[in-house]
């Protein structure tokens, strides 16, 4: 089978498209024909091995998996002898943020870990694009006690995490202010933003509104820049470590203050998939898809994603995806 491969951490140039053996499922695994996967910011962290802490999970000196990729949507091609929860031919999708070797024509995954059926109305591409960004967005929301009508500001609302966060917050009844760029103002309105800021023209930190939560889903601001926008009891959460990795220690320093920082340690991926399936089936979530590349264009796809300018999600999708 064709697969993106690499043997060392590095830039997208370390990626080589090769023909390698198709993996064989063990007793508890599914063999999946992959029809869509994203190239996301978690993949970029695993590709470069930075921040270095990521190597505790993905291989200390070199990547433990030759094939990259953290999410997928595809069809079950074969099942292990002990698998009872899936059948050959099932349409499935999944995510594992430490890696799934999904940037290949085939992959294997444990049947009990991070894999769920795709709702009938959803395509492979839509399912794959509802995985990684939505997972981190849902993870932010699960770290706070959100009530209907709460005002929430989302910085970086045009990214994979941000575009999912706006939709999920709207679903939970929050009143969302979304910060994005000029070409995407209409997109932010369509995702459910009540108010928008164009960061290319205006500084959201000069806003006169106050917020219960600020989700800096692109990590370009900081607690100190946003603190005055928080109401007493308000919380700031960022997707990045921040200046001097402050988002790691500010949660401790602000723990008993009336404006706090929370570090969003990621949770169980399966929980996100089950929740997202509910929303997708009800038509309450539409993933934002920016570009679709072929597996042969993997290096270009990573280079684009690493520029930090994508709108929503970037996909790798294969020639023989069934319609
Ligand atoms: N902690 C974790 O486990 C984890 C996991 C995944 C990702 N991350 C981090 O989370 C961040 C977001 O990930 P993502 O996948 O959502 O990113 P992304 O899709 O690459 O999106 C970044 C978005 O932010 C916008 N943006 C850039 N500069 C901005 C600014 N100054 N103000 C407001 N918006 C700005 C970009 O718009 P333009 O088109 O205008 O540039 C782009 O649409 C990344 O920094 C990533 O490294 C963390």
Percent of the chain with pLDDT over 90: 96
Dist CA 67 CA 132 (whole Å): 18
**Helix, strand or coil, per DSSP, at residue 222:** coil
CB 101 within 8 A of CB 71: no
pLDDT digits (tens, 9 = 90+) for 194-208: 999 999 999 999 999
Residue 137 has pLDDT above 70, yes or no: yes
- Over residues 25-43, the mean pLDDT reads 98
Residue 102 has pLDDT above 90, yes or no: yes
Percent of the chain with pLDDT over 70: 98
CA of 158 to the centre of ligand 1 (A): 8
Instruction: Give the relative orientation of helices 132-141 and 160-171 as an angle to the nearest 10 degrees.
Output: 50
pLDDT score recorded for residue 99: 94
Of 239, 262, 305, the residue with max ligand 1 atoms within 8 A of its CB, to mutate for a pocket test, comes to 239
pLDDT score recorded for residue 322: 53
- Over residues 165-177, the mean pLDDT reads 98
Listed in sequence order, the residues at least 6 apart from 190 whose beta carbon sits closer than 8 Å to its beta carbon are none
Superfamily of domain 144-262: NAD(P)-binding Rossmann-like Domain (3.40.50.720)
Residue 321 has pLDDT above 60, yes or no: no
pTM confidence score: 0.96
CA of 222 to the centre of ligand 1 (A): 14
Domain borders along the chain are 2-132+286-317, 144-262
Number of the ligand 1 atom closest to the C-alpha atom of 158: 43
For ligand 1, atom 7: residue with the closest CA = 41
pLDDT score recorded for residue 318: 72
- Give the torsion through C-alpha atoms of 219, 223, 226, 230, to 10 deg: 120
CA of 291 to the centre of ligand 1 (A): 16
- Over residues 231-259, the mean pLDDT reads 97
Domain 2-132+286-317 falls in which CATH fold?
Quinone Oxidoreductase; Chain A, domain 1 (3.90.180)
């Amino acid at each position: 089978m064709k697969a993106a491969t690499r043997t060392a951490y590095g830039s997208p140039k370390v990626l080589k498209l090769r023909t390698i053996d198709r993996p064989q499922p063990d007793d508890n695994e599914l063999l999946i024909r992959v029809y869509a996967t994203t190239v996301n910011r978690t993949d970029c962290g695993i590709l470069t091995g930075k921040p270095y802490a990521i190597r505790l999970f993905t291989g200390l000196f070199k990547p433990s998996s030759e094939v990259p990729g953290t999410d997928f949507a595809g069809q079950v091609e074969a099942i292990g002898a002990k698998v009872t929860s899936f059948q050959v031919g099932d349409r499935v999708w999944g995510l594992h943020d430490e890696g799934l070797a999904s940037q290949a024509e085939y992959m294997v995954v444990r049947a009990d870990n991070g894999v769920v059926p795709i709702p009938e109305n959803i395509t492979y591409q839509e399912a794959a694009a509802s995985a990684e960004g939505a997972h981190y967005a849902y993870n932010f929301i699960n770290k706070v006690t959100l009530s209907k009508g709460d005002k929430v500001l989302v910085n970086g609302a045009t990214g994979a995490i941000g575009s999912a966060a706006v939709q999920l917050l709207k679903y939970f009844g929050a009143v969302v202010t979304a910060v994005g760029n000029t070409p995407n103002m209409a997109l932010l309105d369509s995702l459910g933003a009540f108010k928008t800021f164009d960061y290319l023209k205006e500084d959201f930190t000069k806003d006169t509104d106050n917020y219960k939560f600020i989700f800096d889903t692109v990590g370009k601001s900081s607690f100190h820049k946003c603190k005055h926008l928080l109401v007493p009891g308000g919380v700031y959460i960022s997707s990045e470590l921040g200046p001097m990795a402050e988002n790691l220690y500010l949660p401790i320093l602000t723990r008993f203050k009336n404006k706090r920082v929370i570090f969003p340690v990621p949770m169980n991926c399966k929980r996100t998939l089950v929740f997202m399936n509910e929303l997708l089936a009800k038509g309450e979530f539409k993933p934002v898809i920016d570009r679709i590349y072929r597996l042969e264009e993997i290096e270009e796809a990573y280079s684009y994603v690493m520029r930090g300018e994508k709108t929503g999600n970037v996909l790798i999708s294969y020639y023989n995806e069934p319609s």
